[in-house]
Structure 1
Amino acid sequence: MAVIGIRAGLKRRVLKLSPPALLGLFYLCFVAIGAVLLRLPFSNHGDVYFLDAFFTSMSAVTVTGLTVVDTGGDFTLIGQIVIAALIQLGGLGIITFAVFVLTALGVPVGLGQRLMLREDLNQSNFADLFQLVKMVFIVALGCEAAGTVLLASVFVPELGWSDGLWFSIFHAVSAFNNAGFSLWPDSLTRYATNPIVNLVVPILFIVGGLGFVVLNDLYRKRRWRRMTLHTKIMLTGTGVLILFAWVMFASLEWSNRETLGAFDSWGARIMVSWFQAVTPRTAGFNTVDYGEVTDATALMTMTLMLIGAGSTSTAGGIKVTTFAVLILATIAFFRRRSELNCFGRSLGIDEVMKVLALTVVSIITIFVSLFVISITHDGSFRALAFEVASAFGTVGLSMGATAELDTTGRIVIMAVMFFGRVGPLTLGFFLATHSHVRVRYPPGQVFLG
């Protein structure tokens, strides 16, 4: 009876947690369980310590892709299956939790917060939330199945049926969930000029990164005029960012013999540039060595990693819509306009305040993390900044510094990965919670600039 009473009391305490705290608790539980499973003898070849297993589990659950061990070499088939399962849970979990945390988990929250969640997800009623979750799983499993079949046409002839099929499944799951985990230590560099890999893998993480709200809108509306403002901004912003990164990477690295210059034909260089243009926005795969890129390319890549992809997607970063609103707000300021206009719709001050809050918190997180790591690790500042940006954007691209970090540095990177994945949704919950002003003060003036 005492045990039952303890369990009941613990359950009541858990249910009393706020939705952000509950969400964070779920993710930490996933990470802890994954770390224990990866540390077991049948999951690794004996060279993986608990901190390495915990780091790998955190990277998988947050669908980041940063590693301190060789995923394909240090983990057995069972360990690799565990990692793939963690990636799937982490990639789809945050979306399902975002939908269910106020409706399906029985968390006692107010109607106003449920209405704000419905509005943020662009749904017309609460029933649509469950319809969105259903579509999430259908799209995810369908895309991963199609990706597996197409990748198998490349991997099976080279690796055989058993290894080739497993490599296809693993990389399809990793790509769709924007995880960036690869079973090869050099990621996909051996397939830098393979047309199937360069088409299938980017399509998977672009679809996964658009956001399921966008995919649902595309399926239901199908016409540009009927689509929501969020969908229009996401599609336009994604296209512009991909085109910009494609042109810039090709221009900056064309003559670099360690990257694009290593390929003889201009067609191969354009193909490699295409892959590097889409992967920084949280995908994490690479077909060139990022440790050899120029400083300008590294800075551009870090910027893309911080922007990320779409809301309610498998990707991280501050999100494309956040970046777009920042640009629109800046343009409106210089044009002396009091409201933002885009695609025949207006955005109020509330949206701008949300964007500013998210951006400021993100910048502070990145700078504080980089400061701490710089104290404890004597390495290249560029490489450290790259790793922190990659961790926050849950990207997984690396210049090789992560594996060289000490215990403090690895703990900081894990914290950044966790915040980069769970933080934006947690912050969004607080931003969606309205409070009534009881006391008003007389206006004041502050001189800016």
Structure 2
Amino acid sequence: MAEKHFKYVILGGGVAAGYAAREFAKHGLNPGELAIISKEAVAPYERPTLSKAYLFPQGAARLPGFHVCVGSGGERLLPEWYSEKGIELILSTEIVKADLASKTLTSAAGAIFTYDILIIATGSTVINLSDFGTPGADANNIFYLREIDDADKLVAAIQAKKNGKAVIVGGGYIGLELSAVMKINNFDVTMVYPEPWCMPRLFTPEIAAFYESYYANKGVKIDKGTLVVGFDSNTNIFFCIIHPFTIRQLLLKDGRVLDADIVIVGVGGRPLTKLFKGQAEEEKGGIKTDAFFQTSVGGVYAVGDVATFPLKLYNETRRVEHVDHARKSAEQAVKAIKAIEGGKVTDDYDYLPYFYSRSFDLSWQFYGDNVGETVIFGDNDPASSKPKFGSYWIKEGKLLGAFLEGGSPEENTAIAKLARLQPAVPDLEQLTKEGLTFASKI
């Protein structure tokens, strides 16, 4: 196949790719300078929609409604937008080899692409239960959710198994959001996870207790502190060896058995860095970058989930898996690229960690760092008609993190400001009493 050359190539077609393309367009592009290479068949879209509105029984979100950059209030970039800007969308194309020294990418079909500057925006892939050798993990009614094709398969299963039994494996973001949406679809829902409470990487036991009770009040059953150790199809074992089978039951480590029509697994992800092993410096599971997302290889940048970058606010390096960072790191990389071309300097990336989720009638936001002592304030009664509560994290006398459930846009902005400014907290008891009022004083 003929070799194609581009000045800029974005490898990956997720959220980061779309925001990087928009930033390139802001700075001005010549037609044919930029290409996005993606193994997905559609233009970049807001991935968080897949675990929320995409699965709703009524009024479900569908493309082109959630192409980037609508997730942050920007213009929706339809496929024709890329054409108008002279950006080549190379879709349904999986890159299987990357040679950073020769600036060459090779696709599964043998197509060769060369570039002057590369932005690695490959994101993460889901962790599969078969990675752990879980018996029966290749059954055809076990689902994972990362791309729109995954969501379409799940939608078809929901329609085929109406009012059935769904088991959600995992108690993190995906587990909580999918448990809610499956309940909205009128499924009998059970969550299973090994940790002592849900979202343990962020939630304190007190915060988790609210969500677990709220979900229980909605009819979601929760089995925590146990693992799924296998699946049973109740079919002939010889048939199962040859054909994908449909599981009927989950086997738990504590000896119990759960019936299931649909199983959805959300036990985490891994950054897709395999193509670059041994070519770019790595740290903490990602590709190491500077404050402009340039890697150890000149002209190669890494953004979003795959980047381990200097987190200026805390004077340390981190890798962050979240859509907000994917958007902002992509924009930062392009600003840095264009600044270098113009002989200028751009500011260091100064990111405030931010996480959020929406499920049922709930909506929470978190800013900062969840380290140190915690206080909780507000109405965290899961039976309340409109619960509204929050938590602060305090370390060495400074407020470092802030969480708020049910906050208004203004209140969420206020807690973000707290996490950024890190005000002194002389009295934890007084802070508990003041709650959100403390934010208004800063």
TM category (shorter chain) comes to: under 0.3
Q: TM-score, normalised by structure 1?
A: 0.25
Higher helix share: 1
By relative contact order (CA 8 Å, sep 6+), the higher-ranking structure is: 1
Q: TM-score, normalised by structure 2?
A: 0.25
Higher strand share: 2
